[in-house]
Structure 1
Amino acid sequence: MVKISNLTKKFGSHVSLDNINCEFKKNDSIALMGANGAGKTTLIRSMLGYYHPDAGEVLIDGYNPITDRTKVLENISFVPQLPPPIKLSIDELINYISTSSGVDKDLILNYANEMQLDLKSNMSKSFFKLSGGMKQKLLIAISLAKKSDIIIYDEPTANLDPKARDDFYRLLKENEQNKVLLFVTHRLEEVQELVNRQIYMDLGKVVSDERV
């Protein structure tokens, strides 16, 4: 589903990705680890088409995320570590997601409820003014409702309390079949029971890639 070939990305003289080669296939559940500056974020942004590579390529289901970005993003859900500063109300945001991506609004509400997030009494509130935990729960609910083939979570449990983490893990296990799940994390123990593959990056290279 994801094929990364000889991928190199530089920022000035700094090499952020150094000739990366790896593949992510259906039913891969991956912990992507490494110190700050290892290249994890650059790799994710290259998959999403934010960055143009200096060499090599990324293919998502055979599509290039630069030239076929709309097609690629149809099948990817991404939950960033820091929620974006969206000024829309929850109601406006859900309607926008539903209209632009064809996501079932009732399914978003259902997953939010499963995460113990009461949306119905908060629909007029600005997403920007929600607590960090509420933002994270809503973004997770949207990512699951989209039914994407590839879901990327960047430090997904950072703002979640223990009960919300348990709900998150349960929902992922219920929805993991035939998907690529990619967790960017510094805390392997938090996703260890969910992953079957561990990739460690350092200085822009993949230094280990192990099945577990």
Structure 2
Amino acid sequence: MITISNLTKKFGEHISLESVSCEFNKNDSIALMGANGAGKTTLIRAILGYYHPDSGKVLVDGFCPIKERVKVLQNVSFVPQLPPPIKLNIQELMQYICMSTDIDKELIEHYSNEMKLDIKANLYKSFFKLSGGMKQKLLIAISLAKKSNIIIYDEPTANLDPKARDDFYRLLKQNEDEKVLLFVTHRVEEVQELVNRQIYMDMGKVVADERL
């Protein structure tokens, strides 16, 4: 579903990715690990089409995320480590998302409830002013409601309490079939029961790729 071939990305003189090649296929559930600066975030942003590679290529379901970004993002859910500074209230945000991506509003509400986030009590609160945990719960709910075949989580539990983490992992286990799940994480022990593959990056390269 995702093919990365000899991907290199530089920022000035700094090489963030150096000739990275790997494939993520259906039913892969991957922990992507490495120290800060290893190239994990750059790799994710290349998959999402945020970065133009200096050489090599990325294909997502056969599409180039630079040239055919709309097609690529239709089938990808992404939850960043730092929630974006959205000024809309929750009701406005949900309306925008449902109109632009054809997500069922009731599904967002369902997964929000499963994450113990009371949508109705917070409808008119600005997303920007929510607590970190509430933002993360809503973004996770949206990612699951989208029913994408590719779901990417960048440190998704950083703002969640232990109970919310348990809810998150429970929901993922119910929704992991026929998908690519990609976790960028420093805490592999948290996702060990969910992943079947561990990839370790260092200095812009894949140094280990182990199937479990």
Per the shorter chain, which TM-score range?
Answer: over 0.9
Q: TM-score if structure 2 supplies the norm length?
A: 1.00
1:160 counterpart letter in structure 2: L
1:144 counterpart letter in structure 2: L
Q: Deviations over 1:5-34 (max 9, x none)?
A: 000000011100000000000000000000
2:52 counterpart letter in structure 1: H
Q: Measure how far apart 1:44 and its partner are.
A: 0.2
Look up the match of 1:204. Answer: 204
* C-alpha distance in structure 1 between counterparts of 2:53 and 2:154, whole Å: 21
Q: Measure how far apart 1:88 and its partner are.
A: 0.2
Aligned-residue Cα RMSD (Å) equals 0.4
Look up the match of 2:175. Answer: 175
* C-alpha distance in structure 1 between counterparts of 2:207 and 2:121, whole Å: 48
Q: Measure how far apart 1:203 and its partner are.
A: 0.2
2:11 counterpart letter in structure 1: F
Look up the match of 2:115. Answer: 115
Alignment identity in percent?
A: 78
* C-alpha distance in structure 2 between counterparts of 1:114 and 1:37, whole Å: 34
Structure 1 stretches of at least 4 aligned residues deviating more than 4 Å after TM superposition: none
SS at match of 1:210: strand
- Give matches, 1:140-159, under 5 Å: 140-159=140-159
* C-alpha distance in structure 2 between counterparts of 1:100 and 1:5, whole Å: 31
Aligned residues: 212
Structure 2: stretches of 5+ with no match in the other structure: none
SS at match of 2:138: helix
* C-alpha distance in structure 2 between counterparts of 1:208 and 1:52, whole Å: 25
* C-alpha distance in structure 2 between counterparts of 1:39 and 1:174, whole Å: 30
* C-alpha distance in structure 2 between counterparts of 1:204 and 1:162, whole Å: 32
Q: TM-score if structure 1 supplies the norm length?
A: 1.00
